[in-house]
Each structure stands twice: as C-alpha cells, then as structure tokens.
Amino acid sequence: MTNLPKSNRRQFLKAGALLGTGLVISFVVPARITKFGESAEPDPVASFAPNAYLSIGSDGGINVLLSHVEMGQGIWTTLTMLIADELDADWKNIHVHHAPPGQPYMHTLYGLQITGGSSSTWSEFDRYRQAGATARMLLIAAGAKKFGVDPATCKTENGMVISGEQKASYGDLATLAASLPAPAKVELRPASDWKYIGKGLKRLDAPAKVNGTAKFGMDMQFPGMLTAVVAHSPVMGGTVKSFDATAAKAVPGVKAVVQIPTGVAVLADHFWAAKKGKAALKITWDAGANASFNSVTQMEKYRALAATKGLPALNKGNVESALSQGGKVIEASYDFPYLAHAPMEPMNCTVKLGADKCEIWTGTQLPGIDQAVAAKILGFKPEQVSIDTVFLGGGFGRRATPTSDFVAEAVHIAKASGKFIKMVWTREDDMQGGYYRAAFHHKLKIGVDNNGYPTAWNHSIVGQSIFEGTFLSMLVQNGIDSSSVEGIADSPYMTEVKDAYVGLHTTKLPISVLWYRSVGHTHTAFVMETIIDQLATEAGKDPLEFRRTLLKSHPRHLAALNLAAEKAGWGKALPAGHFHGIAVHESFLSFVGQVVEVSVTNGRVNVHKVTCAIDCGLAVNPDGVKAQMESGIIFGITMALYGEINFKDGKVQQTNFHNYPILRMNESPEIDVHIVASTEKMGGAGECGVPPTAPAIANAVFAATGKRIRKPPFASIT
C-alpha cells in the first residue's frame, strides 16, 4: 500500500471543499505513501474518499490520512481510533499515512499544519470522528440503495453494511458511495457506544518498529541519490570565507563539493565517503558576531538585568511597598542553561529537484512551512514542492523550526549541486547546529504572612524569546512572550497573593532558540514548585499540606496532587536514606502531580521511583497517556540531572552523548502512572509529564541533604 490513485486525488480535492475546510490551496499528493513503512507499490483500485481524512478502496482497503505526524507520541494510533469508532471498520484493512501539506490538514485552531503544543488529540477529537461518521452514513446510503431498502433498516459491523439477510462490504459499496451526495447532517455516536475511545488500542506503528521496516527520514534511499554531509561553522552563525576542496574531492566516492549559505556540503556515494570528504575540507571561517559569546558571562549579565524592573507580565497591588513592610522576605535566584533536544535520529532531509518540481522526504512537525520555505528558495510555487513526511525519530520541538533550517539546508544543497541528495547531519552537527531551549535566569523576592503563606511576590525573568519574529509572533503581546512567563504569571499560587509583579526582560542574542518539550514550563515549573516547597519548609509545614492550602480553589491541581500523594504513600516510611519530593503543575491544559523517591549517595542523586497522576479530561487512549507520562518523566530526569549546553567563544562545548548525557536504563526509575477519572475539558499528554519531574527531584534532594537546588543540572550535589 499504496500510491493514491488519480481518481482518489480528485476526490480528496472535492471533499476538502465539501467539508467546508475552504479552498484547497497548495495541496500536493505525496509522491509515495507507505503502509507502516513497507515499500510502496501502486494501488490500481478505484476508491471512495468522502473527505480528506480517509478513503475506501473497492478492495476494502481503508486509508486514513493524518493531519498530525507520528514522532513517538502515538498519534498514528489515536487519530485512527477516532475514525474507527465512528466507521465500524475492519482493523486489518486500515492503513495509516501522514497527510501531505494541504488546507484540509491545517490545525483546527492554529491555522497552519503543525504537530505541537500537545494538541493533536483534543483539537482533532471532533473532526476525525466526523470524518468517520460521514463515511459510514454514505456507505449505509449506498447499501440501502443496493439492497433497495430504507437506510434506517441498515446497520454496520466490522466493515459491512447489513440489512436483514442482505450484506455488502465497504469495499463493494465504495464506488456507489462515491457517487452519492455528502449528508447534510452527521451525528456522532454517544460516549456509551464508543468501542475504542477511552479504552485504547495497541500502537498501530509498533509492528514495523520492532522488525526494522519502519522508515524514517534517515532511511530514504533511491537510485542515483547521493549522501550530503555538511561542514558547519564551529562558531554559531559563522560563514565561509574561503575553502579548498582539493583533498575532499580526492576521497574515493566523493562526487561534488558545493558551498551553501550555512557551510560547505560534500556529496558522495554514501555517508562514509561524504564524512571523510568533509574531514578533508580546508575552510577558513568568518566567525561573525558570536565569536566572543560565552554562556557563563552571559548569565552574569542576566543576573544584573534581573535586578532591574522588567516589562509587566503580571502586576497587581504594590509589590515594592508590600515587601518593605518589615515582614519576612524569602529571596532566591535560579540559572537555567541552554538545552539541546537531541532526538535519536539526527536531522536529515532528502531532496529531488527537477526543472519545475521538487520532491522532499523528511520527518517534520511543520510540513506546510517547510513547503513554503523550500518553494521560496527555489522560486517555485508551494504546489510545485511535495513533502512526504515519514516517521520522525523523535521531535520534542526540534523538527518544527520556523525557518525550516534542515529542510532549507538540504534544498540549498540540491539547488547548488543539481543532484538528488539526502542530507545527513552527524550527531555533532545536530548537537552544535543550533535551536536550543533558551537559557533563563529568575530572581524572586517573596513576602510571607505569619503562617508562611505568600502575600507579596516580586519575580524577575530574563531570557530570549522563541516566538518573536516567527509565525507565532502573535503570542508576543506588549513585549511579553507568553512562553517566557507561562506557569508563573498564570500560576494558581498567585491567586491569593495580593501584591505581585512578574517582570520580563527579553534578551536579543544571535543564539537560535526554540520551543522544547513543555516549552517555558521546563524552567517556570522548576522555580514555582521548588520555591513553594521552600516556603512550606521554612514555615515548618508539610509540603503537601502547604500546597493543598494554597490550591484550595483549584480542584484539578488538587486532584492530581492528591492522587499522586496517595498512590506514593506520602508521609509513610521509606527505606533508609530514601526521601520523597513532590510537585504539581498545569501545562497544555492538563494537570500533573508527581511524587519522586530519591536517595543521595556520595553526592550522587539517584531517582528510585516516580509516582504520577494526570488529569487530562477524557483520556482517549489511556495506555498512550501513561506512555507519555513515562516518557515525559524520563525526559524530565535527563533535564534535571544532565541537561546543559554551554558556549565558549561562540562554540557549543557539547558534541555527542558522552558529554551531553541522556538518562540510561540503569538509572531509569520505576514509574507508576495513574489517570484521574475526569470529565473536565480535554488536555494534552505529550508534554505535561515533563514539568513536575525536575522540581520534585530537587525537593526530594532538599529533604535528603538540606540543600536547595538553584541551578540545574544537578546529578552531583556538592
């Protein structure tokens, strides 16, 4: 399975307009769609495409097209479940594909085609069920027509339309169904009829991921394709002054060397030859503006800036006056380093450039932006550029760059060389090539009442903006990038604080920064949950009870906090030398509480167990939600203990996994996840597991050592 047949393409176009999703612009049919990464072969069968999200072939094969991409979070399965619950399809006939760039696949809220913000399930909950329900109604209408009966007498079951003794398969009815008008009104099944939603399904992408057949961008191979490896400036943002490719071209297998805006690319028969060619290049670099950039001295500047008043993200009462009344004031400041996303699959992109079309294969969270960026570089219209999104070997935000950096670089190589190329970054390119979670500094002064509860809160935040100058610049209002202050300006702990000022200093630096799994909450949750813990212990109160008091008007926070505490046995005896730490945080519309069990031996932090509770409203695929909590927690432990990117003289100091460690099996704790039974508004699952983990560990470390952590990472406590 399958290249979509031509008739099918027209159906998609027609259906997109019918569904009221607007004019179909820049709709490009993928050059090759594969089922679970199997090799493509033509599918000659006629088919029925009631909308842009699914089609049914006369052979009974059902193609589901996903507007969101699979990068590990399980959306391949979850969106398909939504269709299947309405369609009554036979699972063995369902084939899942990533959609090409196109109007019907725009995010239902964000207005562009994007996988991000932990929004795929809730934002598609109605649209994908609607797609399945529409198809089912048309199939019933076709069945009724074929049987000569009233549609009301027909039911569906496992890919069949049935009326009395008569039955016909969806495949048999596909052609007839395609000729019928779209129903005026589509009713969705009540929750009581759901077979999959809320119950779950095994991952549909897993079989191909256990036998090596799943295809990632890195695995694209075509006859005549060359592999391109790029020499990038060692100083971020530097440019090529001059280069000598004589020795590189002499390496067996090297076919061409071309200069591109971001460096020099070596094209060869295979990766190894290209890599050797790159090593043989002699390049003189112009280091540019970053030659003296140093992250240590930069943080010193941030600290000085934090002492001055930033732009208001929250301003109520009069915090200066409140803090000068002579009551108890607690002060703290925090440093957060740059972080690399470091997905397991290094960045890569395959480009085949023709006279009037360009075909691109890559794993991307932003196919529409990539298409537009590629078209601009080539002087093409977007519809002349196809994007075939294959499995992403991890995303975490890195495969969603507003500049489409890795796609743009590959297109430049194809354009400069005239060759069909797969650009492959090494791990070093990936780690040093930019796009980091921004470094941040926080400075706090908190006035507390006689019981230790906060009454005045002065909070200064310093760091770079990720939204400014991007397609999400509307998220910068009055100089406040919402992602720099999320989790603080809107913190539930601020509810009862009478006098508060949250000030933001947005720094402008030539270091490329980007959203990162759980975005601003990566640092804001750490600050809030460790400082609240400190207020509790300074007041001589239990950290759980202290939070319960402050969160009394926030039932979803409380539910997650209480369930995690109960399941972890908060307050009960632990093995000697083991200590609990707790945290709760809302992000991406979901509420997550965690209790972490930690020991500190010879200054080394060991995480033994994490107990987690999440309220995400309806959990469409509960085991998928649990998997995302496990994933987020382990991501959070890596961030807490190891994550750190440093610059010296404009050069990233970390290069590979030996000096940018990722948590390993032997350090991985037992994880126990519980889902709060909830009928509240649906939230996300992909990111919200991350924020509470690092502060909960830090709070446990305090319980163990009496030391407050102000500067992650903290694998070693000295």
Partner 1 sequence: MVYKLKVNKKDYSVDATPDMPLLWVLRDLLGLTGTKFGCGMAQCGACTVHLEGEAVRSCVTLIARAAGKEVTTIEGLSPDSKHPLQVAWLEEDTPQCGYCQSGQIMAAAVLLRENADPTDEDIDHAMSGNICRCGTYPRIRKAIHLAAKLQKQGGTK
Q: Which is nearer to partner 1, 503 or 692 (CB)?
A: 692
Binding flag, residue 209, partner 1 (CB under 8 A): yes
CB contact at 8 A, 686 and 628: yes
From the list 230, 233, 222, the residue with the least C-alpha distance to 256 is 230
CA torsion sign for 417, 420, 425, 426 is negative
Single residue of 44, 207, 261, 555 touching partner 1 by CB under 8 A: 207
State the minimum distance, in angstroms, from the CB of residue 366 to partner 1.
17
Q: Collapse the DSSP code of 15 into the 3-class scheme (helix H, G, I; strand E, B; otherwise coil) and give the result.
A: helix
What is the x/- site pattern for partner 1, positions 549-568, by CB under 8 A?
--------------------
Compute φ and ψ for 618, nearest 5 degrees.
-65, 125
Compute φ and ψ for 10, nearest 5 degrees.
-65, -40
Print burial letters for 250-262: b (CB count within 10 Å at least 16), e (below 16): ebebbbbbbbbeb
- Residue 704 tokens, joined: 């163990």
Binding flag, residue 146, partner 1 (CB under 8 A): no
Binding flag, residue 38, partner 1 (CB under 8 A): no
Binding flag, residue 222, partner 1 (CB under 8 A): no
Q: Point out which residues pair with 583 in neighbouring strands.
A: 594
Binding flag, residue 608, partner 1 (CB under 8 A): no
Where are the strands (E) in 113-172, listed by range? Answer: 155-157, 160-163, 166-169
Q: Which is nearer to partner 1, 273 or 528 (CB)?
A: 273
Q: Which is nearer to partner 1, 75 or 154 (CB)?
A: 75
Single residue of 215, 232, 437, 585 touching partner 1 by CB under 8 A: 215
Single residue of 45, 49, 71, 466 touching partner 1 by CB under 8 A: 71
Which range in 9-17, 145-153, 218-226, 676-684 contacts partner 1 by CB under 8 A?
218-226
Binding flag, residue 691, partner 1 (CB under 8 A): no
Print burial letters for 44-82: b (CB count within 10 Å at least 16), e (below 16): ebebbbbbbbbbbbbbbbbbbbbbbbbbbbbbbbbbbbb
State the minimum distance, in angstroms, from the CB of residue 365 to partner 1.
12
Single residue of 63, 227, 364, 512 touching partner 1 by CB under 8 A: 227
Binding flag, residue 575, partner 1 (CB under 8 A): no
From the list 364, 403, 349, 404, the residue with the least C-alpha distance to 71 is 364
State the minimum distance, in angstroms, from the CB of residue 14 to partner 1.
35
Binding flag, residue 634, partner 1 (CB under 8 A): yes
Q: Which is nearer to partner 1, 23 or 210 (CB)?
A: 210
Single residue of 490, 566, 623, 680 touching partner 1 by CB under 8 A: 623
Single residue of 147, 436, 635, 714 touching partner 1 by CB under 8 A: 635
Binding flag, residue 314, partner 1 (CB under 8 A): no
Which range in 16-24, 282-290, 595-603, 633-641 contacts partner 1 by CB under 8 A?
633-641
State the minimum distance, in angstroms, from the CB of residue 547 to partner 1.
26
From the list 422, 272, 433, the residue with the least C-alpha distance to 362 is 422
Q: How many residues touch partner 1 (CB under 8 A)?
A: 62
CA 141 to chain centre: 40
- Binning the chain into helix, strand and coil, the percentages to the nearest 5 are 35, 25, 40
From the list 430, 373, 381, the residue with the least C-alpha distance to 402 is 373
CA distance 22 to 16: 7
Q: Point out which residues pair with 331 in neighbouring strands.
A: 445
CA torsion sign for 79, 80, 85, 87 is positive
Helix (H) or strand (E) holding 457: strand 454-464
CA distance 98 to 362: 11
* Sites for partner 1 among residues 315-344 (CB under 8 A): 342-344
Q: What's the distance, Cα to Cα, between the start and end of the chain in Å?
A: 58
* Sites for partner 1 among residues 271-310 (CB under 8 A): 271-272
Beta 651-652 vs 339-340: how paired, if at all? unpaired
Binding flag, residue 601, partner 1 (CB under 8 A): no
Q: Which is nearer to partner 1, 646 or 668 (CB)?
A: 668
CA distance 234 to 221: 29
Single residue of 259, 384, 465, 631 touching partner 1 by CB under 8 A: 631
CA distance 650 to 607: 34
Binding flag, residue 406, partner 1 (CB under 8 A): no
Binding flag, residue 221, partner 1 (CB under 8 A): yes
CA distance 548 to 555: 10
What is the x/- site pattern for partner 1, positions 643-672, by CB under 8 A?
-------------xxx---xxxxxxx-xx-
Binding flag, residue 604, partner 1 (CB under 8 A): no
Q: Which is nearer to partner 1, 420 or 493 (CB)?
A: 420
Q: Which is nearer to partner 1, 218 or 387 (CB)?
A: 218
Task: Note the maximum CA span of the chain.
Answer: 87
Q: Is 453 exposed, middle or buried (0-12, 13-18, 19+ CB in 10 A)?
A: middle
What is the x/- site pattern for partner 1, positions 420-459, by CB under 8 A?
----x-xx--------------------------------
What is the x/- site pattern for partner 1, positions 517-556, by CB under 8 A?
----------------------------------------
* Sites for partner 1 among residues 245-274 (CB under 8 A): 252, 269-272
For partner 1, the binding residues (CB under 8 A) are 70-74, 202-203, 205-216, 218-219, 221, 227, 252, 269-272, 342-346, 391-396, 424, 426-427, 623, 627, 630-635, 656-658, 662-668, 670-671
